[in-house]
Amino acid sequence: MADNHEETVLFRVDGEEVDNKARIILVTVYQALKEKGYNPLNQLVGYLLSGDPAYITSHQNARSLIRQVERDELLEEVVGIYLQLAEKDKL
């Protein structure tokens, strides 16, 4: 049976606990990347697009931390925060 890519896929994240974990991990990884002199935005985007953990430094255990949360959950957190800010600021 062929995949039907025309259907909407519903992503479900179980509870606020995952949101908080994703947020904490993103902030921790961001800080570790910044401390090591990397551009955190570029490195995080590279990781989120490719899934390659080499984009994330092992400093502060960041590489291990980011792998504790699925990439779709991290993306959901990022997009959710962006949309909240956009709505608040009426972007």
- pLDDT for 89: 85
pLDDT at 72 over 70: yes
The residue range of the domain holding 57 is: 15-89
- pLDDT for 75: 95
In the chain, the number of structural domains is: 1
- pLDDT for 20: 86
- pLDDT for 16: 56
Q: Is residue 1 part of a domain?
A: no
- Least confident among 1-5, 50-54, 55-59, 77-81: 1-5
Q: Do the Cβ atoms of 23 and 84 come closer than 8 Å?
A: no
Q: Is residue 8 part of a domain?
A: no
Q: Is residue 7 part of a domain?
A: no
Q: Is residue 27 part of a domain?
A: yes
Q: Do the Cβ atoms of 40 and 33 come closer than 8 Å?
A: yes
Q: Is residue 9 part of a domain?
A: no
Q: Which phi and psi (to 5°) does residue 6 adopt?
A: -85, -15
How many other CB atoms are there within 10 angstroms of residue 62's CB atom?
22
